[in-house]
């Protein structure tokens, strides 16, 4: 066992024996710190800020993006980490979430304009944000079910290519359906969540990104809580059983297809939720924001962090979003460095940076087995 694993395991064991109230307090402190982050200005900690140099990006906006990608990672973790299904088209659901809120909520979207003309509504009218949210989640969820229903019966590797195709189809449709999505020009005026007006401006506006960050953080915390509930129930057990041995699980009464479809649908709706937040904050969506590479980035977050473990995937999402923003000066070199990092991290630590303890043990066992097998030959 590597030294890092030993150390983290010991740390986790220590945390486990602490009384519940101490752990609750600790968690509360972490959450409080997370809410405070946009204002972090105390040296030396302020060095983590991304806006120290002139070329830097706005710190709160980066934090917002980190949290949005964390939502993505939590959702994808259900699909990849728990149910063991390889989804390479996750960006499709993310795009669907963002596009749904734009298509129905923006006054300049062709869909809204069509509705205005049909019912003789005013130019100002659009579907209210509060209704766009369930629409966006439902669109992603329905897409997940439509994609999953025929393909989840296929073996894992086929699923990878079919989902990848789905991600591309969504983007191509967004680009080509000019009279629905405005094509490559994209849609502006994406609505923002309602709130009291402050100084004559909406509560959620472009110049106060920390509010967006707090909103996303609240959503993330709720979603993590829900994901954990599922994980520690018969649903989570069914997913693990399917991941381990699908046939045996089915013979033991697990409705494998149903649970896989649920994993897919839940993952999809979380992706849609993340896309919705993203589109709403940008107040603009365009097809090029949803390239296939983003899907690979999402999968990398889950795997690098340690798939199956929520803390792990959160860390993965943080590193892969934050580091490129922090080192923006080296923009041209970022994809290269990212590639090198992917290979290096996975070879040195294939179980991910913070694997679930179950996974960590699994890897130790597999390694021993592989070594024994090598010794036999």
Partner 1 sequence: MSDQNPATPASRESHAEGHVAVAPDTSDHAMLSMDVGQVGETLLEIDHVTLRFGGVVALNDVDFSIKRGEILGLIGPNGAGKTTCFNVMTGVYTPTSGEVRFNGRAISGNKPHKINQLGIARTFQNIRLFPEMSALENVMVGCDARHKTSVLGALFRAYRVRPTEEQLPANPLKRSLAKVFGISRHTLEERGGRERSMELLKFVGIADRAHELSRNLPYGYQRRLEIARALATEPQLLCLDEPAAGFNPAEKEDLMDLIRRIRDLGHTVLVIEHDMKLVLGVTDRIVVLEFGQKIAEGTPEEVARNPKVIAAYLGEPDDAA
Partner 2 sequence: MDFDALINGLDRHTLDGITRGSIYALVALGYTMVYGVMKLINFAHSEVFMVGTWATLGTYTLIGASSGMGVGMIIGATVLALLAAMLASAGTALAVERIAYRPLRKKGAPPLIFLITGIGCSMVLVETFGQVLKVFFGPPFGRVLVNVPAVLPTKVVFTIPGIDLAITNTRIIIIFGAIAMMVALDFFVNKSRLGRGVRAVAQDPDTASLMGVNQDRVIMLVFVLGGAMAGVAALLFTIQYDSTKFDIGFIIGVKAFTAAVLGGIGNLRGALIGGLVLGVVEVYASTVWDSSWADVTAFVVLVLVLMFRPTGLLGESLGKARA
Task: Please report, as ranges, the residues that interact with partner 1 according to CB under 8 A.
Answer: 226, 229-230, 233-235, 237-238, 240-241, 244-245, 247-256, 259, 262, 266, 358-359, 361-362, 365, 369, 372-373
**In this structure, how many other beta carbons lie within 10 angstroms of the beta carbon of residue 304?**
24
Report how far residue 61's alpha carbon sits from residue 148's, in angstroms, rounded to the nearest whole number. Answer: 34
By a kind-dependent CB cut-off of 5 to 8 A, residue 123 interacts, out of partner 1, partner 2, none, with none
Q: Scanning residues 277 to 296, which ones bind partner 2 (CB under 8 A)?
A: 296
- Is residue 247 involved in binding partner 2 (CB under 8 A)? no
Are residues 141 and 268 in contact, defined by beta-carbon separation less than 8 angstroms? yes
Structure tokens at 178: 């000019």
Among 116, 237, 338, 357, binds partner 2 (CB under 8 A): 338
CB distance 125 to 112 below 8 Å: yes
> Is residue 316 a contact partner of residue 356, using CB atoms and an 8 Å limit?
no
CA dist 45 → 33, 48, 67 (Å): 12, 6, 19
161-180: which residues touch partner 2 (CB under 8 A)? 161-162, 164-166, 168-169, 172-173, 175-176
Which of the listed partners (partner 2, partner 1, none) does 172 bind, with a CB threshold of 5 to 8 Å by partner kind? Answer: partner 2
By the rule CB under 8 A, 154 interacts with partner 2: yes
374 class by beta-carbon count within 10 Å (0-12 exposed, 13-18 middle, 19+ buried): exposed
Q: For residue 158, give the H/E element and its range.
A: helix 156-176
Q: What is the signed CA dihedral for 301, 187, 270, 125, rounded to 10 degrees?
A: 160
- Angle of helix 234-244 versus helix 209-231 axis, rounded to 10: 80
Rule CB under 8 A: say whether 374 interacts with partner 2. Answer: yes
Q: Is 366 in the site for partner 2 (CB under 8 A)?
A: yes
Q: How far is the CB of 361 from partner 2 (least distance, A)?
A: 13
What is the token pair recorded at 81?
């980490």
Q: Which does 254 bind (CB under 5 to 8 A by kind): partner 2, partner 1, none?
A: partner 1
Q: Which two tokens stand for residue 28?
A: 């509360």
- Please, what is the minimum distance in Å from the beta carbon of residue 152 to partner 1? 14
Would you say 348 or 373 has its CB closer to partner 1?
Answer: 373
Footprint of partner 2 on this chain (CB under 8 A)? 80, 86, 150-151, 153-158, 160-162, 164-166, 168-169, 172-173, 175-176, 296, 299-300, 303-304, 307, 332-333, 335-336, 338-343, 346-347, 350, 363, 366-367, 369-371, 374, 377
């Amino acid at each position: 066992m590597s030294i890092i694993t030993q150390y983290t395991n010991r740390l986790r064991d220590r945390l486990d024996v602490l009384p519940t109230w101490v752990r609750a307090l600790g968690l509360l402190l972490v959450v409080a710190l997370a809410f405070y982050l946009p204002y972090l200005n105390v040296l030396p900690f302020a060095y983590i800020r991304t806006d120290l140099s002139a070329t830097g990006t706005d710190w709160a906006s980066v934090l917002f993006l980190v949290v949005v990608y964390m939502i993505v990672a939590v959702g994808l973790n259900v699909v990849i980490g728990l149910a063991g299904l390889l989804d390479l088209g996750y960006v499709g659901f993310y795009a669907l979430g963002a596009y749904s809120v734009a298509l129905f909520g923006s006054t300049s979207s062709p869909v809204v304009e069509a509705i205005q003309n049909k019912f003789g509504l005013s130019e100002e009218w659009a579907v209210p944000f509060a209704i766009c949210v369930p629409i966006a989640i439902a669109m992603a969820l329905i897409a997940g079910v439509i994609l999953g229903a025929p393909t989840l019966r296929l073996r894992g590797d086929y699923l990878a290519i079919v989902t990848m195709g789905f991600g591309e189809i969504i983007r191509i449709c967004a680009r080509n359906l000019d009279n629905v999505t405005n094509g490559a020009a994209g849609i502006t005026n994406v609505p923002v969540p309602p709130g009291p007006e402050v100084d004559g401006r909406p509560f959620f506006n472009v110049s106060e990104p920390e509010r967006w960050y707090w909103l996303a953080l609240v959503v993330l915390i709720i979603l993590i809580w829900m994901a954990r509930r599922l994980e520690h129930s018969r649903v989570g057990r069914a997913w693990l059983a399917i991941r381990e041995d699908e046939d045996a699980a089915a013979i033991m009464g697990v409705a494998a297809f149903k649970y896989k479809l649920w994993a897919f649908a839940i993952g999809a709706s979380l992706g849609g939720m993340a896309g919705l937040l993203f589109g709403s904050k940008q107040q603009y969506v365009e097809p090029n924001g949803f390239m296939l590479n983003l899907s690979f980035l999402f999968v990398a977050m889950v795997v690098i962090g340690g798939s199956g473990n929520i803390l792990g995937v959160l860390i993965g999402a943080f590193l892969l979003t934050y580091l490129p923003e922090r080192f923006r000066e080296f923009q041209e070199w970022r994809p290269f460095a990212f590639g090198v990092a992917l290979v290096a991290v996975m070879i040195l630590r294939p179980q991910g940076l913070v694997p679930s303890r179950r996974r960590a043990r699994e890897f130790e066992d597999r390694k021993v087995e592989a070594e024994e097998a090598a010794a036999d030959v």
